Structures are given as C-alpha cells and as structure tokens.
Structure 1
Amino acid sequence: MAASREKESLARVLAHEGGYSNHPKDPGGATMKGVTQRVYDGYRKGRGLATRSVKGITTDELNEIYDRQYWDAVKGDLVPAGVDYVVFDGAVNSGPARSIMWLQRALVPLYTGPIDGVIGVGTLAAIQSVNSLGELINRICDERMRFLRALKTFPTF
C-alpha cells in the first residue's frame, strides 16, 4: 500500500482555513482552523470531555478530527493523488457525504450507482476506470462550484 498523503493534504487545507473565525454570515458559526464549534463539541462529548470553546482546540484534537471525520470518511488512502485532496477539502467545507456526491456525479457515466455520498466498491471501480485524473478533478471542482454558487452565502464567502 502506498504511503498516505493525508499529512500533505491536511497541510494544504490548513493553509486556507486560517485561525479563529466567527463571522455573523457563516452558518457554521465559530470555527478554528476549519473545525466548527458543533464538530468540536461532538468530538469532546464523544470522549466524555466537557465542551469548551473551539478556540482551545489542541493540535492532537485537530489532527484526530481531520483524520477520522474527513480523511477516513472520504477514504483518502484508497483514492488517487489529487482526487484525495479535492474530495478531502470538499468534505472539510461541506461535509463528507456532499463531497463524495460531487465525486460520484463527476464520475458519470463510468459510475452507474446511486449518488448517495458513500464511497463503495462501485465508486472505487469507477475511479480506477478514469483515463485522466486531471479531468476528473476538474469535473469534481465544477460540481462543487455549482453547489457553492447556489448558496445564499456565496457572495460573502
């Protein structure tokens, strides 16, 4: 098995996520390095810890959240280089299921299964059948932009 590109992908994501933000027009609310307060609360509750401000997130917590909730959710180690980053970044910003749906739509007609936001054997087989990963990445990005442009927050963000 090839070495994971997770650390490289995470470094790229964090380069754009910045520090703490609580923009009044951001439906995600308070966010630190791309992790929302809601996600952080769920993470801490799941470990039997008291909730606290996302401003206090530790590096270990941040890495575990990104690993479990985003990288593993999009099966980053099972998809080709480039595709892994695009789907991971989409998952961080819009959720893993939504990002996987963009991937599945971009794979049509090679992918004939349901657009269900779950990477299974059909999605993985379709990825392996792609002739140009660069074109696939462009189609994933096009799907993502169509979605983002339809959001009422698009002019702000």
Structure 2
Amino acid sequence: MPDDAPSHDIDQLIDDLIAREGGYSNHPADRGGPTRYGITEAVARAHGYTGPMALLPRDEAAAIYRRLYWLRPRYDQVARRSPKIAAELFDTGVNMGPGVATTFLQRALSALNRQAKDFPDLVPDGRVGPATLGALDKFLALRGPGGVTVLMRALEALQGERYLRLAEKRPANEAFLYGWLANRIGQAD
C-alpha cells in the first residue's frame, strides 16, 4: 500500500461513521425516512432486517456498511492503492451512493490525466473496474503522495458542489446542508 496516510481499516471506518451518524432519527425533511446508524429503512429492509428501525442492531448496520458500501463498490481494491482515497469514497458513498462517489473519482482522474497523455479518459459509469483501477495506479505512480492530496481536493470539491446543488434544488435539504459540509467533507483526512 502507498504510504499516503495511516492505514484505514474498514472496521475503524465503520466505527467512525456510525459515531458520526448517531442512533435513531426520523427527521421530517429526510426523504430516507427513519434511520438508525445512518441506515435507511429501505436499505435495512432490502437486506433482510424486519424489526423496528429504532432497534436495528449495530452489528447489522456494520454488516450492511461493509457489504454495500465497501465490498460491493470494490473500495477494498482502491484501499490497496490508497487507503485515504478509499476512505473518502466510502464516506461519500454512504451519503450519496457508491455510484456517485465512484463517478466523482472517475471524473477527477479524467480531468487530471493531462488530456489523456497519462492514461485514457474514463467513462464515468460509477463502477470501479480495471480501467478505473488502472488509471488510479498510473495517476499515483506519476504524482506520488502529492497526487493523493490533489485527488482528495478534487473529490471533496465535487462532493461539496453536489451538496449545494441538492440544497438549491430542494429547499428542505437546507436543514442538512450545514451538517453535510461540517461532517462529511474531509472525513478521510
């Protein structure tokens, strides 16, 4: 693994995330409805939980985070290259969906490839596959530790812009904007 940050282990990332997300919530402006540990009722039900959301066990939430937001989007593969980038994708993916987080990575890498001189542009399809991993490998090899910092800034800029757009598009989201910007941007630092 590149030495770009302290190693982020998924158990610690999940613990930190659950601490930020808190316990049970049912905010009237939240389209996701009732949540516990940041897991929406729809996600919990889709993964077999049938009890009341207020009683969703922490270990069930952790298993959902690991399966849906770490392994399925292949952020474990990104972590082998850059634990810091993987941690950022994980956190963004939990809040916005892994497809959105991965699209941010693909867009940023394509914009940083010096007009395809370093590696081909990526199709922003929201999936971590061989092309995305290959581009990340080449980018990190060319840019080193400083490249991780720049890539993190690009990912966070895209994330922040999306939060602002969500609040502008749906005024009820303004209830969450301050918290999103305060608690979601820069969590992998």
TM-score range, shorter chain: 0.7 to 0.9
- Please tell me whether residue 102 in structure 1 is matched to residue 104 in structure 2: yes
RMSD: 1.9
CA distance in 1 between counterparts of 2:54 and 2:174 reads 26
Alignment of 1:1-157 (within 5 A): 5-44=9-48, 51-79=50-78, 80-109=82-111, 110=113, 112-130=121-139, 131=143, 132-151=147-166, 152=170, 153-157=172-176
2:66 match: secondary structure:
helix
Dislocated runs of 4+, deviation >3 Å: 1-4
Does structure 1 retain, via aligned residues, the 8 Å contact 2:107–2:122? Answer: no
Q: CA deviation at 1:52?
A: 2.0
Q: CA deviation at 1:4?
A: 6.9
In terms of fraction of residues, the more helix-rich structure is 2
Q: CA deviation at 1:32?
A: 0.4
Identity value in percent = 31
Which AA in structure 1 matches 2:55? G
Q: CA deviation at 1:33?
A: 0.5
Which AA in structure 1 matches 2:102? I
TM-score by length of 2: 0.74
Q: CA deviation at 1:147?
A: 1.1
Show structure 2 runs of 5+ residues with no match.
114-119, 177-189
TM-score by length of 1: 0.88
Change (3 A) 1:4 1:145: closer
Deviations 1:63-84 (A, max 9, x none): 2101111011232221111111
Show structure 1 runs of 5+ residues with no match.
none
Instruction: Tell me: higher relative CO, structure 1 or 2? Use CA pairs within 8 A at least 6 residues apart.
Output: 2
Query: Which stretch of structure 1 is more off in the superposition, 122-131 or 88-97?
Result: 122-131
Which AA in structure 2 matches 1:13? L
- Aligned length in residues: 152
Deviations 1:6-58 (A, max 9, x none): 112112212211111111111111110110000001111xxxx6x22222212
Q: Larger Rg: 1 or 2? A: 2
Which AA in structure 2 matches 1:75? R
